[in-house]
Structure 1
Amino acid sequence: MEAVRCPIVELRQYTLHPGRRDVLIDLFDREFVETQEATGMTVLGQFRDLDDPDRFVWLRGFEDMPSRAKALESFYGGPIWRAHRDEANATMIDSDDVLLLRPASARGGFPAPADARPAPGEPPASPPSLVLATIWHGAGPFDTAFVEFFERRVRPVLAETGGEPLAYLRSEHAPNTFPALPVRTGEEVFVWFARFADEGRIDEHLASLRRSERWSEEVLPVLSERWARSPQRLRLVPTGRSLLR
């Protein structure tokens, strides 16, 4: 399957004022999708966090760090952001929870979307779905040996239990080329994404993992040695105009 050409990816988690998430999503889907992509970035997906009514999560990708700087400078210095930034910022408590990532291998990037993004106000062509983002925090780098372990041992078990990864990425430690927008530094993360039809399918996947002997005997001991803390799981509901859905 063809992969989206995004060697650099931001995973952005925003904490919002209570009751303001739909305001931001309406504004984002209407004003901030095509206008960001016109500068050279890709808006990969935007989501409601199913478990936190005041969290908005989104992903955007770039060709490289220099083009990231150019695209962000163009958008945040441009007329659309100037016209709508006060309204957007008024919904937010914190927008600095940002992980800078890159595909963990040549096979780790996001797949090309099956359907085109609908125009504002149009219903999406794809049926509703949920995206599960799993963030593993490492005590050390998730190096090439770990990526090989993930592809050889971890991914097959995830697929067998209904959680075939769509994409898997690890920390990008290049200097932040747009310091006006902070990113989390000094962390080692490995993040994988899977798509499910509904909450029940996520629950079935996680229950199957717990029952899997291969997971408990071959995979989990290796992972546990690498984890700095418990994994974080984000159950994400794509907005109507999310490319990833």
Structure 2
Amino acid sequence: MNVIVELRQYTLHPGARDTLVDLFEREFVTGQEAAGITVGGRFQDLDDPDRFVWLRSFPDMAARARALHAFYGGPVWQAHRERANATMVDSDNVLLLRGPGFAAPDTAGPVVATICHPLDPTAFADHFEQHLRPALTAAGTPAQAVHRSEHAENTFPALPVRTGEDVLLWFTAGKAPRLPDLSTQLKSAPQQLRLTPVQRRQA
């Protein structure tokens, strides 16, 4: 089932990632879930010690607005926002997507998020299904949780999202998959985020 998904990439102050991860796991997972938000995977970027990457999802855009108002206006965020915000340089790198969401199990090894900016989103989606997905499967790196851009108006403008771009992204387990030459299909080279799942903290 496709839902509304946010892929959020936070740039943090040097050395602040563990502080945010501890706070996130202790307070913000259950706090968001209580507000009706499905919290997906939380990841450390293997190539950037000051980046935290995570996903959350909502049934639709109206539910997103209600849930975000409930969480950011509620007691959990109000109690911990100053400490959370103090870890962050930038929290506006957010892709609004439609797809199944993604949450790697706690025991999972590294995963890779591959982000493509197609010249023609419809044509590239067809190319992906007909050619690229079978090639990834044959290479032992099958695509999981494929997402495409959602262009609905941001229903919670207090939190910006990236606009004016189309992406198709997917996740793979293990090392970064080798991709064929996609220069005729894409506006720029694919971005591959090498990620490791955050281990759940105990309360």
Asked if 1:237 is matched to 2:202, the reply is no
1:32-43 aligned within 5 A: 32-43=28-39
List, as ranges, runs of 4+ consecutive aligned residues in structure 1 with deviation greater than 6 Å. Answer: none
Q: 1: distance between equivalents of 2:63 and 2:195?
A: 28
Q: Please name the residue that 1:132 is paired with.
A: 112
Q: Per-residue deviation at 1:111?
A: 6.8
Q: 2: distance between equivalents of 1:175 and 1:33?
A: 25
Between 155-164 and 84-93, report the one with greater CA deviation: 155-164
Q: TM-score, normalised by structure 2?
A: 0.92
Residue from 145, 165, 172 that aligns with 1:167: 145
Q: Per-residue deviation at 1:180?
A: 0.2
Asked if 1:176 is matched to 2:154, the reply is yes
1:1-245 aligned within 5 A: 5=1, 7-103=3-99, 109-110=100-101, 124=106, 126=107, 128-140=108-120, 142-143=121-122, 145-196=123-174, 202=175, 205-206=177-178, 209=179, 215=180, 220=181, 223-241=182-200
Q: In the alignment, is the contact (CA less than 8 A) between 2:113 and 2:193 conserved in 1?
A: yes
The code of the aligned residue for 1:139 comes to: L
Between 56-65 and 34-43, report the one with greater CA deviation: 34-43
**Any gaps of 5 or more consecutive residues in structure 1?**
104-108, 116-123, 197-201, 210-214
Between 34-43 and 24-33, report the one with greater CA deviation: 34-43
Q: Per-residue deviation at 1:148?
A: 2.9
Q: In the alignment, is the contact (CA less than 8 A) between 1:6 and 1:42 conserved in 2?
A: no
3-state SS, counterpart of residue 158 of structure 1: helix
Root-mean-square deviation (CA), in Å? 1.9
* Distance change (3 Å), C-alpha of 1:186 and 1:111: closer
Percent identity of the aligned residues?
58
Structure having the higher Rg:
1
Q: Per-residue deviation at 1:229?
A: 1.1
Q: 2: distance between equivalents of 1:155 and 1:146?
A: 11
3-state SS, counterpart of residue 156 of structure 1: helix
Q: How many residues align?
A: 201
